[in-house]
Amino acid sequence: MKFKILLVSVVLLFVSAVTFAGESILYISDNTHMSDSFSIKSLDMLQTFIDDDFGKDKVNVSNVSRFDMNTTQCLELFDSIYRRGHQDAIVLMIGDSNYHNLYGFSKYMKSVNLDRPITIKSPKTVSEVNNEMLKLYAVANKSTLTNIVSTVYNKIMGSGVKTSFVPKVVPNFYVLNSNFKKDDNVMATLNTYRYAWSLIKQEKYEEAKAFLIPIIESKPSQSMLYYALGSAYLSENSKDCELKALQCFEDGVLVDPLNKENICYKGLVLMYMLYKGDITSEVLFFARGLNEFITFPNDELESILAINTTNHDEKVKVINNWIISDMDKLKNKAIVSNTKLIFSSYPDDIPINKLIADYVKNASRVLYIDNKIDSKENADFIVYRFARKLYDFLKEHKIFKI
């Protein structure tokens, strides 16, 4: 599966408190399949269509979309929105990001598995975590199973024919090097990270790798640089790119494993959710081992452990159930708030469209719009068609009271 570049950055979601006397329509999208500029242009055109037909200041169209937002984050956004005022109608294009953004998933799994046992573990330092993980990999590579390796492997693969698991990907364990030092110059690291991503987005992969590798070797404590390097390997899509990328993400986790905001945990999720085959076993082996040595795992690690399968169809199934659960909650919030709720397909022909359409077909008091578009057409015409289709739908279903 070809890697889709997912630049993860710190985004502050701000919903402006605008006082508006007329009707209001709010558009929310994860922007996974559309750019910010496309959303802005198409909604500006939708506003123009409405103004031309009904007059200015009758209906206000607003957009609070955010890249990579999943359904659980959208639920949180709803609460923020309604603290600032009522919305007459909301159009949602969300759900596809759930397959790689597992924020909130572990909480959902706990809600459906209330009898899940809780294990209290002793806190460890970063160095201790690395030491324990080093032992785990050293033993696994010798094909001599200790109790913990057996436990980790059985949780990954079940009691199958194999009796040992030899990882192909082994972290470098930079923390255990005598020259390892914590680099606290966050601003310099951010500038390095942004520059590396500028090279990746320009498809200058060799240049990005040549830039990042010596910096990581000289200052190995900044986890985000490992994420950028791993992303460069995946974007390049060369031989063994998945193995090289996973090693980057694992190294990035291990230099700062106790930090729940460590972006390399996101890298593990991307490898686990977007890829099939042996690479998912590698991720699970690492995640299960790490879970033995960290007192309080973060959301991404807990989510991988909760899914706990290398079967791609099973992973999709459990994520689909999560999406449907959140869609139910969104629907109920809209009903309580007296808001008309419209779920939209994505412009691309992807599986999530059917899931959303089937949900709406079997639900009450929600609508569905098929917003698939032909990406081969002229860019300006695509914007026009998208806006026109949405406008015609809103008018046909009498979303406007005027």
Q: Which residues pair with 26 in a beta bridge?
A: 62, 90
Domains of the chain with CATH codes: 24-102+317-396 (3.40.50.1110), 122-294 (1.25.40.10)
Residue-level pLDDT at 131: 92
Asked whether 223 and 266 are in contact (CB, 8 A), the reply is no
Instruction: Render pLDDT for 74-83 as a digit per residue (tens, 0 to 9).
Output: 999 988 887 7
Indicate the SS3 state at residue 313: helix
Measured distance CA(335)–CA(364) in Å, rounded: 10
Run of H or E including 93: strand 89-93
Cα distances (angstroms) measured from residue 116 to each of 7, 44, 112, 148, 185:
34, 48, 9, 21, 41
Buried b (16+ CB within 10 A) or exposed e, 33-47: bbeeebbebbbebbb
Q: Which residues of the chain have pLDDT under 50?
A: 1-2, 5, 7-20, 143-146, 159-163
Instruction: Render pLDDT for 316-356 as a digit per residue (tens, 0 to 9).
Output: 999 999 999 999 999 999 999 899 999 999 988 899 999 99
Token digits of residue 373: 């578009």
Q: Is 162 exposed, middle or buried (0-12, 13-18, 19+ CB in 10 A)?
A: exposed
CA 340 to chain centre: 27
Nearest to residue 355, comparing CAs of 326, 331, 385, 324? Answer: 324
Total Cβ atoms within 10 A of residue 266: 21
Residue-level pLDDT at 80: 85
Contacts 24+ apart (CB under 8 A), 314-320: 315/272, 315/273, 316/99, 316/351, 319/98, 319/99, 319/105, 319/273, 320/355
pTM for this entry: 0.84
Residue-level pLDDT at 156: 52
